Amino acid sequence: MSERTRDERISILLKLLSQRGELKVCSLPAILGASGATVRRDLAVMEEKGLIRRSYGKVTAARSSAELPVSLRHSLNIEAKRRIGALASSLIPYRPLTLALSGGSTVRSVARNLAGRADLTVVTNSLDTAASLLSRQAVEVVVTGGHARPLSNDLVGKAAEKSLRSHRFDYAIVGADGVSLETGITRHSGSGASIDRIMMEQADHRIVVADSSKLGRAHAAKIADLDTVQAIVTDSHADPALVAALRRIGLAVTLVVVPPSARK
């Protein structure tokens, strides 16, 4: 088994802290499969980023959510996101279209693949998505108003919602923190979920992009029911039973092939 990256270890710790409230530092090397020195360095990074508090041999979460900051999310499941972005972008026809793209590291990969398309107008609330689209100076990019959410680099709030409602989209491509049969498409953030919901409501075609680690998970903030989505693009490490169940309810689920060696 390959050694976990720091971002993967931090993700595990945040999830455990959201479930348990606190963890004993002495138990972390066994939990993470890492040395004590590695764990201490990880905790120092987490404390510096304001993710945890340390005291008397214990760590507690500095906030209730297990959501990773976007700076850490970008380095998780890189190859899966790269391939999902390439495949999802190929679903967009070559003609003048108006798209809505949400935030998130997987949607950012989609944006990179669309950046050379001069026939597209893209409306986004994500500063990272906008930056990726502007890299080739071909796509017409419209960024919503709103206030910035530091964990995601997305613009949220009433101004962002009003901006999105003033548009009609041919396609909406949104990311997700969770995709489950019971709960549907979900996010960690309620404000982020509201933005994604409006994008989907204003679109004729709705595509969800999510790497396989998001499938089978559910979070507090609901974006939409599964029956409002036409397609989900994920990777080949998704649970086959869940993929089959999603297809039975009418979803077009596309899997990009990611070798086990590239699953980081």
How confident is the model at residue 1, as a pLDDT? 40
Cα gap 164→166, rounded to integer Å: 5
User: Residue 21: which domain range?
Assistant: 6-65
**In this predicted structure, what is the pLDDT of residue 66?**
59
**Torsion 188-192-196-197 (CA) sign:** positive
181/117 same-domain check: yes
Query: With the C-alpha atoms ordered 256, 258, 263, 264, is the resulting torsion angle positive or negative?
Result: negative
Instruction: List CB contacts of 30: < 8 A, sequence separation 6 or more.
Output: none
* In a shared domain, residues 57 and 79: no
State whether residue 136 is helix, strand or coil.
coil
Output the CA–CA distances (angstroms, integers) from residue 91 to 94, 110, 133, 200, 211, in the order listed: 9, 11, 17, 16, 17
Name the helix (H) or strand (E) containing 244: helix 240-248
Closest CA to 125 of 194, 185, 195, 176: 195
What letter would DSSP give residue 103? -
Do 150 and 238 lie in one domain? The reply is: yes
Would residue 162 count as lying in a domain? yes
262 is a domain residue: no
CATH value at residue 33: 1.10.10.10
For residues 33 and 35, give the distance between their C-alpha atoms in angstroms, rounded to a whole number: 7
Q: Based on the domain organization, do 89 and 60 belong to the same domain?
A: no
Residue 60: phi and psi, rounded to 5, are -125, 155
Closest CA to 154 of 164, 165, 145: 145
Q: Do 34 and 92 sit in the same domain of this protein?
A: no
Return the structure tokens found at 86: 């390439």
Residue 264 lies in a domain: no
For residues 38 and 119, membership in a common domain is answered with no
How many angstroms separate the CA atoms of 74 and 155, rounded?
18
d(CA 211, CA 108): 13
Same domain, 114 and 29: no
Question: What does the pLDDT read at residue 70?
Answer: 64
Instruction: Choose the final residue of a domain: 21, 42, 65.
Output: 65
Number of domains composing the chain: 2
Q: What is the pLDDT of residues 78-103, one digit of tens each?
A: 889 999 999 999 999 999 999 999 99
CA distance 66 to 90: 32
At 239, which CATH number? Answer: 3.40.50.1360
Residues 166 and 213 in one domain: yes
**Domain-terminating residue out of 65, 85, 107:** 65
CA dist 197 and 192 (Å) reads 9
Rounded CA separation 183/65 (Å): 18
58 and 91 together in one domain: no
Q: Give the residue from 40, 65, 90 where a domain finishes.
A: 65
Asked if the structure places residue 121 within a domain, the reply is yes
* pLDDT for the residue 67: 65
- 58 shares a domain with 170: no
> Which residues of the chain carry a pLDDT beneath 50?
1
Q: Is residue 263 part of a domain?
A: no
Element (H, E) at 186: strand 184-187
Q: Given this model, what pLDDT does residue 78 score? A: 84
The answer to whether residues 80 and 209 touch, using CB atoms and an 8 Å cutoff, is no
| 0.85 exceeded by pTM | no
Residue in the block written with tokens 């120092």: 44
Those residues with Cβ within 8 angstroms of residue 167's Cβ, 6 or more apart along the chain or in another chain:
98, 100, 123, 142, 202
- Cα gap 13→263, rounded to integer Å: 19
